[in-house]
Amino acid sequence: MRADAAERVESGGLVLLTLAAWLVPGSGHLWLGRRTKGLIFLVALTAMFAIGLALQGRIFPFEASQPLVFLAAIADLAMGLPYLLAWALNLGQGQVAAVTYEYANAFLIVSGLLNMLVVLDVYDTAVGRK
């Protein structure tokens, strides 16, 4: 499996692989031939992000004056394409008064953070560390 993954990365490009893994959660694993893992990441992370939006969560803006908000924005951005779609469609305005607001933000932020771990896992797999 290690040799397979390394061979595929050499032809495809490590940068392109990690970029794809960030953009579409699970796609990096699918690229490396780890279908089950890739599909689970794709479904689970996308579902977490969608649930966060459905529960009135907020896509945080990049406000340098508020460090925690800025960090939350980075975590949101880590979701890749779902984040970009939500941003383009003006979703994720956030309803502070909603009873689910804090949970929704937890879903949104953690889905992005988990996708960061998934991207790192793709990189490790691609270079033969796993």
**Which residue's CB is nearer to another protein, number 88 or number 96?**
96
Provide the residue type at 19 as one letter: L
* Alpha carbon distance 7, 127 (integer Å): 10
103 binds another protein (CB under 8 A): yes
**Which residue's CB is nearer to another protein, number 70 or number 110?**
110
**Which residue's CB is nearer to another protein, number 19 or number 44?**
44
**Contacting residues for 69 by C-beta, under 8 A, at least 6 apart:** 60, 61, 63
Longest Cα–Cα distance of the chain, Å, equals 52
Q: Which of the ranges 38-46, 64-72, 74-82, 88-96 carries the binding residues for another protein, by CB under 8 A?
A: 38-46
* Alpha carbon distance 22, 112 (integer Å): 9
**Which residues of the shown chain bind another protein in the complex (CB under 8 A)?**
36-37, 40-41, 44-45, 47-48, 51, 55, 99-100, 103, 106-107, 110, 114, 117-118, 121
